[in-house]
Amino acid sequence: MSYRIVIPIHNEAKNIKKLLDSFSERHLSSIILVNDGSTDKTLEIIETNYPKIEVLSHRVNLGKGKSLQTGALKAFQDKAGIIIFMDGDLQHKPEDIARFLRAFRKDPKLQIVFGARKIGINMRFASFFGNKILTVTINLLFRYFLNDTQCGFRAFRRTVFPKIIWNSPDYAAETEIIIKAAKNKLKYKEIPIDTIYLDHNKGTYFIHGIIILFKIIFWRVTSYK
């Protein structure tokens, strides 16, 4: 089963070497790093130490949603059977990739798989509360029942990419993907994953959560497609 791993990165100079060293050799050739306008030495470190890893770069910071889109489009063009999204801040464990792939192998009809973190464990209270609000809202409005709608570790079959292509350039992209999947009644599964929080200053903030909440309601009211 062919797959590509899309990882958006922005100013990850302090983490990027540890991140890439955590991948086994067989996964490295499948990685697509999307450098989203980093202004530190992230790109220099990659080019010096990992010349064989594919890197796509934005000249300026365009946002996580745009970075995911850039990487997914490349994976789609490469005809990867499975497209996997991971965060680039060491939150996710490469060992869990095998579990996503196994889920697709076990169920040929499965179209998208979402990672689910242990909500509340080492998570900022604001993040915990915001995640719960957004997750409950999506469950109620779109009848797509997940435990963790804001987890960035997820995977989907190449064939469904045109159905879930998102417009949001920012953190709302991951929520938009879920709503598109719900609208298209894609068969889904959620699997538990371990998450390590090393940098509490990164990720979504309260204001991001408010914006995403209003977008969810807007998409529901306008019968978003």
| CA–CA dist 11, 59 (Å, integer) | 13
Task: Give pLDDT, residue 199.
Answer: 55
Domain of 81, CATH number, reads 3.90.550.10
Q: What is the mean pLDDT of the chain?
A: 90
CB 174 within 8 A of CB 189: no
Residue 157, Cβ density class (10 Å: 0-12 exposed, 13-18 middle, ≥19 buried): buried
What is the pTM assigned to this prediction? 0.90
Share of the chain above pLDDT 70, in %: 89
CA distance 175 to 173: 5
Q: Domain limits at 58? A: 3-221
Residue 206 has pLDDT above 70, yes or no: no
Q: Report the domain count for the chain.
A: 1
Flag whether pLDDT at 202 surpasses 70.
no
Give the neighbor-by-neighbor strand order of the sheet with 188-192: 54-58, 31-36, 3-9, 82-85, 154-157, 112-116, 188-192
Confidence of residue 66 (pLDDT cuts 50, 70, 90): very high
Given this model, what pLDDT does residue 121 score? 54
Q: Which tens digit of pLDDT belongs to each residue from 75-91?
A: 999 999 999 999 998 88
pLDDT at 132 over 90: no
Q: At what angle do helices 206-221 and 125-142 cross, to 10 degrees?
A: 10
Residue 190, SS3 per DSSP: strand
Q: 31 vs 14, 194, 220, CA distance in Å?
A: 19, 20, 34
Q: Which of the four pLDDT bands, split at 50, 70 and 90, describes residue 195?
A: confident
Does the pLDDT at position 146 exceed 70? yes
Instruction: Name the pLDDT band for 224 (thresholds 50, 70, 90).
Output: low
